[in-house]
Amino acid sequence: MPGQFEPLPGGGAAVALDDVEISIIRSLAVQLLELIGPGPAEDASDDPLAELFAEGPSEPPSDPVLRRLFPDAYGDPEGTPQAGEAEEQRAYSAEFRRYTENDLRAGKRDNALAVVRTLDALSSALAGEEGAVLKLSPQESQQWLRALNDLRLAIGSRLEIADEDDTDLLYRLPDEDPRKPMVMAYLWLGGLQESLVVTLMP
């Protein structure tokens, strides 16, 4: 089972991880949490209604990774729209973002936190061992799946991966290329994600 998720009886998934793998995934999840930032619950009032109706940002994030994680809802991916159409799409996207981005950020935070917490529980159980089997409930498995996707989107954005052709080029990078460690993490997380998708398929 090393490096590949396998199904657990009754649902959920399991994967064998060593100390280095645990450390890498946890570090990446913590960096993702820092990038996403605190939620309105950490910032504001204890009034649940105020939080429910809190408006989010209307403009896309300036950071390219956050733009990848929180893309505009409206736009033509196949080409450049006419000026009037582009203005209308921006207005629709701003309105959609205002009422959805806070919830999207909260969901991504919850998923990344689930990764950190399950890895912390695993690490505390290791007690000097070199690795262990991570066992996830069905809910945790879904959170891991979403978090792995977000991590790959974030790393892919930093590597400027736009399509499958870019991914093929990554395999041919020389070892001395400074992007190589990030590329290896990207490809490894992709394998983990794919095995988890297969494991959770009915």
Long-range contacts of 191-195 (CB under 8 A, 24+ apart): 191/3, 191/4, 192/3, 192/4, 192/5, 192/15, 192/148, 193/145, 193/148, 193/149, 193/152, 195/3, 195/4, 195/5, 195/6, 195/15
Among candidate residues 132, 117, 122, the one with its CA nearest the CA of residue 18:
132
Q: How far, in Å, CA of 133 to CA of 36, rounded?
A: 29
The reported pTM is 0.81
pLDDT at 202 over 60: yes
pLDDT tens profile 77-130: 445 555 567 777 777 777 777 777 888 899 999 999 999 999 999 876 665 566
Residue type, 193: Q
pLDDT, residue 82, reads 58
Mean pLDDT over the full length of the chain = 82
Tokens 């990848």 sit on residue: 68
Longest dimension (CA), the chain: 63
